[in-house]
Structure formats: C-alpha cells, structure tokens
Amino acid sequence: MAITKVTRHNIPAFEAYLSGDFTITDNTNTKVEYDTETFDTDGCYDNSTNYRFLPTTAGKYYVYHKATVHAIATQALDTVHIAVRKNGTRYETAISTYTTQSLELVTIVSNAIIDMNGTTDYLEGWAYARGDEATSVLYSARFKSIFGAYKLII
C-alpha cells in the first residue's frame, strides 16, 4: 500500500510594516500605508498602491494588526484606535482610551478570524488617534507597526 504525503500550508499569507514614520491627522480615521513586506507568499498584498490584502483562496484567515502611536512634541494622546477593515467596512477594532491621564506613546494590538471569499474580499489596516494637538505619528522606525494575515487550515 502506497502512502501519500500531504503537505498543507497556511497560505496565502503576508506581513507588512512601515518603512518610515507615517503621519496621521488628529481625530481622523486613516488607512495605514504598510509599504514594506516581510513576506508575501502568493503576491496577494499590494504594498504600493491600495495597501490591501486580497487573498486568492477562500477560507478563514487569522488577521493581526499592531500599531504604536507616538504623540508629536508635547502632545498627549487620550484615544487610540486601530481597525481591520474588510471591503472598506470596519470589521475588528481595538480601542485604548485614557480619561484620567494622557499618554505620549501607545501600542495597541487587534486580531480576528475573518472569512474571505478568495475573489473580491480584501483587508486593510486603519488607525485613529486623538490628542491635544493637530497631528500624531504612527511610528515604525523605533516601534514596529505591522499588519498581516494567514489562511487557517481547518
């Protein structure tokens, strides 16, 4: 009796990060332009135009998004959100709000399992920060902000 070896992989998969600091406007939801790929197994992540993951295989995907927001100069942050949007609609959000104190640096993480159809569904990473000045900076150089996903084998 012949034995056939079956190899299963968690692909398509990708992880991307910011190549430099990325400025977001205070009190505004902003799509994060993760422009550098750590890996992209099937070429499904667009790191130069739309900054989105469009997997070509249907299934459930584990999605993760981590961002570090650092206030500019003397600004203090009181609210930071990051979100994963599916097809332009917010799917998963992580929120940090500080009512008794404000912070200059916040790291926040979001993750979810999301069904993707393998043809038209896409994912994007978004960020939001509110502070006491006009802008915030989403850092990458000192504090790596990342966005990634991989297909689950179920």
Task: List the chain domain ranges.
Answer: 17-151
Tokens for 77?
């942050």
Q: Quick one: pLDDT band at residue 74, thresholds 50, 70, 90?
A: low
Q: Which of 72-76, 80-84, 118-122 has the lowest mean pLDDT?
A: 72-76
Determine the Cα–Cα distance for residues 149 and 126; give it in Å rounded to an integer. 15
Question: Exposed, middle or buried by CB within 10 Å (0-12, 13-18, 19+), for 51?
Answer: middle
Mean pLDDT of 66-85: 82
- 85-131 pLDDT, tens digit per residue, is 999 999 998 887 766 566 677 888 999 999 999 999 999 999 988 87
- The fold of the 17-151 domain, in CATH, is Jelly Rolls (2.60.120)
Predicted pLDDT of residue 75: 67
Quote the pLDDT of residue 69: 83
Average pLDDT value over all residues in the chain: 87
Would the pLDDT of 29 be above 70?
Answer: yes
Give the pLDDT score at 14: 98
Tokens, residue 143 = 């504090």
Return the SS3 of 6: coil
Tokens standing for 150? Answer: 């991989």
Other beta carbons within 10 Å of 134: 10
Q: What length is written for the chain?
A: 154
